[in-house]
Amino acid sequence: MLIVFGSINMDLVSRVPHLPAPGETLTGSAFFQAAGGKGANQAVAARRVGAQVAMVGCVGDDGFGQTLLRGLAAEGIDVRGVRTAQGTPSGIAQIAVAQSGENQIIVCPGANHAIGREEFTWLETLLPGAQGLLLQLEIPQEANERAVDLAIRHNVPVLLDPAPVRPLPPTLLRHCLLTPNATEAAALAGGPVESLEDAQRVAHYLRERGARGVIVTLGALGGYYWTEPEEGAFSSPKVRVVDTVAAGDAFNGALAAALAEHRPFQEAVRWGAAAGALAVTKRGAQPSLPTRQEVLALMREG
């Protein structure tokens, strides 16, 4: 079983001709809402490719919260560790998606910042025998640090998506497999990340700072991984980009699911790359996340 400890949001998505400049007002061509939040997205991504998944986090006592909770349960995810925080709104993300597929996101954490004693009690109940713990940075930093401490105690490997990016304390660096995208990698290591050579540089830099493992993802360019005892570049399947929201979450969920099946690391990275590529071909966060059959079919084509 995989455990996802993290954010659960409702995404409010507007389609726009281009991403707005400061002070610019745009007329959108469409609006829709869909379940999201990096934690919940990764839980759904892992579940759809075949992993058993338990979600731990918080939603608000509003209509969004109940919709989000029902959606996770309908995917077959164990939601007993998801608490409804009284008097608190659910987390939301306001997302602008340009015709190019690129996006801008504003997250209001809401109940995601209400994580407390009950969630840690449930997390510690789940950790014995778990195959992995997935974390992101849409919950308070101290919550992630405590989750890592508990995972270390139970000898459970941790995968950390450092988004939205901020400086990482030594505890998270030393004990997590990090999966930054180009923007996050640039912020963590300094300097632009625009090529596989840049990705390799960042992977080496983070490893030298103590990271257990690093995978830098570069969208259509693929990416670069470094973990003991191997490293190398990987490609991404060629697809038509519609919406890049949740591509990283698809990558992380499929990667974790493949590692939980004890697949070789390089193969697990290919699972992640295929899932991420498929996610950008559809609109929305969770609606875009592919099934196991879709991921395997795309890998066979490659």
Q: Provide the annotated active-site residues.
A: 249
In 3D space, the residue among 87, 59, 88, 85 whose CA is nearest the CA of residue 73 turns out to be 59
Q: How many CB atoms lie within 10 A of CB 20?
A: 14
Cis link prior to 164 (omega < 30° from 0)?
Answer: yes
In 3D space, the residue among 132, 138, 182, 122 whose CA is nearest the CA of residue 159 turns out to be 132
With contact defined as beta carbons under 8 Å apart, do 17 and 98 qualify? yes
DSSP tag of 219: G
**Length of the chain, please?**
302
Q: Strands 53-60, 30-36: parallel, antiparallel or unpaired by DSSP?
A: unpaired
Cα–Cα dist 183/191, whole Å? 10
Cα–Cα dist 133/5, whole Å? 7
Residues 6+ apart with CB under 8 A from 224: 196, 199, 200, 202, 203, 215, 216, 218, 231, 232, 233, 234
By the 10 Å C-beta count (0-12 exposed, 13-18 middle, 19+ buried), 103 is classed as middle
Q: How many CB atoms lie within 10 A of CB 267?
A: 13
Taking the C-alpha atoms of 5, 115, 244 and 298 in order, what is their torsion angle to the nearest 10 degrees? 20
Cα–Cα dist 64/42, whole Å? 19
| The pair of three-digit structure tokens given for residue 33, joined into one six-digit string | 């809402």
